[in-house]
Amino acid sequence: MSKYIFSQLFEIINRYEFDKCVGKYKGNHRVKSFHCWEQFLVMSFAQFSFRESLRDIEYCLSSMQTKLYHCGIKSQVARSTLADANENRDWRIYEGVAKVLMKIVAPMYKGDNALAKELGTVIYAFDSTTISLCLSLFPWAVYSKRRKALKVHVLLNTDGAIPEFVHITNANRQDMLMMDELHYKAGCFYVLDKAYVHYKRLYKIEVCKAFFVTRGKANMSYVVKKKQPVNREEGVVKDQLIVMKRWHTRRWYPAFLRRIEYTDSDTGKRFVFLTNNLLLDAVVIASLYKERWKVELFFKWIKQHLRIKKFFGNSENAVKTQIWIAVCNYLQIAFVKKRYDIPLSLNQIMQVLSVNLFEKDELKNLFCEEEAKTISNQISLFEKLTGQ
């Protein structure tokens, strides 16, 4: 007899590693029922089945009470119990679980990015997104006098769009400060937005023998040391080796930088790129910067398909707990997609799982080739009819 689909989704998670995270932050200290594992399962159920509130979670689970024990939820789930758990159990437990999952899932997608495969390295995109919060309900989320918000900073491995670093801060935290938290890998490319242009921090990437690609600021003061030949037919206007002109910026970045002016053939817009890679073709550098769009698509996906804009609790601990569990769930779906070679998108996989969580069947059977094609066609037709 097969297990419930819901149970099979959590076989990826090593219980030993999970319990290590729980023990580190004493998550189950003096807890007689509804342990951290059950909290994790219930919050994940809310994500996979698109629940909207604690009351919604409670009613839905109570209607399936006979199945919950076999899925690992052995306690009676009351909304007050779940609210207390989210309020009091350290969110860093689930941060630790997410980091374990990142190490499992990221290698599975190695080679999926054609450009990274061609270059023989890994391309990372680093950026942040802001999650707006209610001014009266979340007073701790400092942003401004009239707004409350959080920032989620993500370093995305563009092979499969898998996050390898996630950090949550108040929205008033400057993006460039998060560069101090990164550990750069030699030979890898780090694609950054203009907000991360801080020459002292960029030089740290140079020292680590890694490469960066970013946008140059309009007020950048520099001296051209060498002009390189360009192919204007490919959109490259200028390709220059420069050094910083001002005393403090030259002290922060004492090496050569490469400045490339490039005109996008599709939009006609002109971009100025900065990089410490002095050898690659200028068109390849422009292509590398386009990889940054993948982190924007990642933010768009998690905001649309996971519950990280509407929260089940108002405290900082409850909010961060919900976000970290959502990251774990994203990684679970990415694992399932790669393990069973499912041709559907992550969104389509979520839709299928949401209506089959408590069915007894092999997980891979939900996405066999013929059924996957049928599901894909049906969802595509639905999206056309509804305009979604």
Q: What is the pLDDT of residues 277-286, one digit of tens each?
A: 999 999 999 9
Q: What is the pLDDT of residues 35-66, one digit of tens each?
A: 999 999 999 999 999 999 999 999 999 988 88
Q: Is 332 found in the same domain as 274?
A: no
User: Do the domain assignments include residue 381?
Assistant: yes
CA 96/CA 357 separation, integer angstroms: 25
Q: Which domain holds residue 274?
A: 205-278
Q: What is the pLDDT of residues 273-309, one digit of tens each?
A: 999 999 999 999 999 999 999 999 999 999 999 988 8
Encoding tokens for residue 11?
């076989």
- Whether the per-residue pLDDT at 370 is higher than 50: the answer is no
Indicate the pairing of strand 257-263 with strand 270-275.
antiparallel
DSSP string across 174-211: -GGGGGGG--PPTT-EEEE-GGG--HHHHHHHHHTT-E
Question: What integer pLDDT is reported at residue 352 of this predicted model?
Answer: 93
User: Do the domain assignments include residue 67?
Assistant: yes
Q: What is the pTM of this model?
A: 0.91
Sign of CA dihedral 191, 195, 201, 203: positive
Confidence of residue 334 (pLDDT cuts 50, 70, 90): very high
Coil/strand/helix, residue 149: strand
Are 132 and 150 in contact, with CB atoms under 8 Å apart?
no
CB-count exposure of residue 220 (10 Å: 0-12, 13-18, 19+): middle
Q: Is 88 found in the same domain as 24?
A: yes
CA 385/CA 347 separation, integer angstroms: 17
Nearest to 222 by CA among 251, 257, 270, 271: 257
Domain boundary among 219, 246, 278: 278
Q: What is the pLDDT of residues 310-330, one digit of tens each?
A: 899 999 999 999 999 999 999
User: Do the domain assignments include residue 286?
Assistant: no
Domain boundary among 278, 294, 310: 278
Question: What integer pLDDT is reported at residue 218 of this predicted model?
Answer: 87
Question: What integer pLDDT is reported at residue 76 of this predicted model?
Answer: 87
Q: What percent of the chain has pLDDT above 90?
A: 80
Q: What is the pLDDT of residues 126-172, one digit of tens each?
A: 999 999 999 889 999 988 888 999 999 999 999 999 999 999 999 99
User: Do the domain assignments include residue 51?
Assistant: yes
Listed in order, strand segments (DSSP E) in the chain are 123-133, 148-157, 162-170, 189-192, 211-215, 222-227, 236-244, 257-263, 270-275
* Sheet with 236-244, edge to edge strand ranges: 162-170, 148-157, 123-133, 189-192, 211-215, 270-275, 257-263, 236-244, 222-227
74 forms bridges with which residues in the sheet?
A: none
Q: Is 340 found in the same domain as 274?
A: no
User: Do the domain assignments include residue 377?
Assistant: yes
User: Do the domain assignments include residue 113?
Assistant: no
Q: What is the pLDDT of residues 91-114, one digit of tens each?
A: 999 999 999 999 999 999 999 999
Q: Is 273 found in the same domain as 353?
A: no
Domain count, the chain: 2
The Cα-based distances of 349 to 248, 283, 334, 336 in angstroms read 52, 36, 9, 9
Question: What integer pLDDT is reported at residue 169 of this predicted model?
Answer: 94
User: Do the domain assignments include residue 309?
Assistant: no
Sign of CA dihedral 346, 351, 354, 357: negative
- Whether the per-residue pLDDT at 252 is higher than 50: the answer is yes
The 10 Å CB-count burial string (b at 16+, else e) for 327-364 is: bbbbbbbbbbbbebebebebebbbbbbeebbbeeeebe
Q: Is 89 found in the same domain as 9?
A: yes
User: Do the domain assignments include residue 14?
Assistant: yes
Distance of CA 18 to the CA centre of its chain: 20
